[in-house]
């Protein structure tokens, strides 16, 4: 099998490419290398990945690459991912995340790509009206980032033409080794402070909940999506299915670091969602997927260097 992965310099994309290569799959990577980690890309090239340095916004180049490679499947992870930056630059986020996705979908359809797998985000839901969040929950994104990912979903669902229907994975709060601290979530920010012996900072009372999923489990969901045969577009939540209070997360990490600290509380941030966790029954049922790495185990592997 031959697979093209976009966003290979990014956090999830680089982990995914490594796993695909380990499985003996022929991997072609597409990334403009404007962000992410160039050293990871070099390691992947050394392991056998073929890199195409290109921007998904450039229709002509994307079209040319896909007709040259003719992959069996595409895993589309290239995206801008900062909620805060998207508020400052909403146009850029729509160009890259929405229109870039449309370019790739159209080129994939013309190149005869069999399977298209799209990395979406729980940000498409906005403030939950019911928990846990199912895939049928209303979508009402709170940021241009969330809107751009939702628009990308719609392009994938309505415009991809291939042998098989596309898969859309709505990923919740992913964590693991190698996240960019500039764009990472609460776990990476806590690690940064605790590794210096400083208390983690919690915005608000800490009783807000999130659903944390290890990057290795996210990668496995993409692998399962390659093999699944479906009659209609599949949208599936990828999370742990378990809510974790931020105050409990902070105390767990303090304990794992062996420190005698108390978290510091700061004022709540405007626009932050109060509670969020996924119903993952659809991914279990259709993909045969379920998370294998519990939160404490995943944190231990990062903190004690087992995941580096």
Q: What φ, ψ does residue 291 adopt, rounded to 5°? A: -65, 140
> Is 118 one of the annotated active-site residues of the chain?
no
Name the nearest CA neighbour of 183 among 308, 76, 86, 77: 86
The Cα–Cα gap between 92 and 255 comes to 41
List Cβ neighbours of 25 (8 Å cut-off, separation of 6 or more): 1, 2, 3
Q: Which run of H or E residues covers position 235?
A: strand 234-238
- As given in the structure block, the two tokens for residue 138 are 């209303």
Please tell me which residue in 52, 118, 125, 145 is annotated as part of the active site.
145
Token pair for 251: 């105390």
Instruction: Return all residues near 216 (Cβ < 8 A) that are at least 6 apart.
Output: 15, 176, 292, 293
By annotation, the residues acting in catalysis are 145
């Amino acid at each position: 099998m031959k697979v093209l992965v976009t966003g290979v310099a990014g956090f999830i994309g680089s982990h995914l490419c490594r796993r695909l290569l380990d499985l003996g799959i022929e991997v072609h990577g597409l990334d403009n290398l404007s962000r992410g980690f160039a050293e990871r890309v070099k390691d992947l090239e050394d392991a056998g990945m073929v890199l195409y340095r290109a921007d998904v916004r450039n229709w002509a180049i994307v079209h040319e690459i896909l007709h040259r490679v003719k992959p069996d499947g595409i895993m589309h992870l290239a995206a801008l991912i900062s909620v805060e930056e998207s508020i400052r630059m909403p146009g850029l986020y729509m160009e890259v995340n929405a229109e870039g996705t449309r370019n790739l979908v159209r080129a994939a359809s013309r190149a005869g790509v069999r399977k298209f797998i799209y990395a979406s985000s729980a940000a498409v839901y906005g403030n939950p009206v019911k928990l846990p969040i199912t895939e049928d929950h209303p979508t009402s994104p709170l940021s241009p980032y969330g809107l751009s990912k939702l628009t990308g979903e719609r392009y994938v669902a309505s415009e991809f033409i291939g042998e098989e229907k596309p898969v859309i994975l709505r990923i919740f709060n992913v964590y693991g080794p190698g996240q960019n601290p500039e764009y990472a979530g609460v776990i990476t920010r806590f690690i940064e402070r605790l590794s210096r012996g400083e208390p983690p900072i919690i915005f608000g009372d800490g009783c807000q909940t999130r659903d944390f999923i290890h990057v290795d489990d996210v990668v496995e969901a993409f692998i399962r999506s390659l093999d699944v045969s479906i009659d209609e577009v599949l949208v599936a939540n990828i999370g742990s299915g378990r809510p974790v209070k931020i105050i409990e997360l902070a105390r767990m990490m303090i304990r794992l670091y062996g420190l005698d600290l108390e978290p510091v509380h700061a004022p709540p941030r405007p626009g932050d969602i109060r509670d969020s966790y996924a119903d993952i029954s659809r991914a279990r049922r259709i993909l045969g997927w379920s998370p294998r790495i519990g939160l404490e185990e995943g944190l231990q592997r990062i903190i004690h260097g087992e995941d580096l």
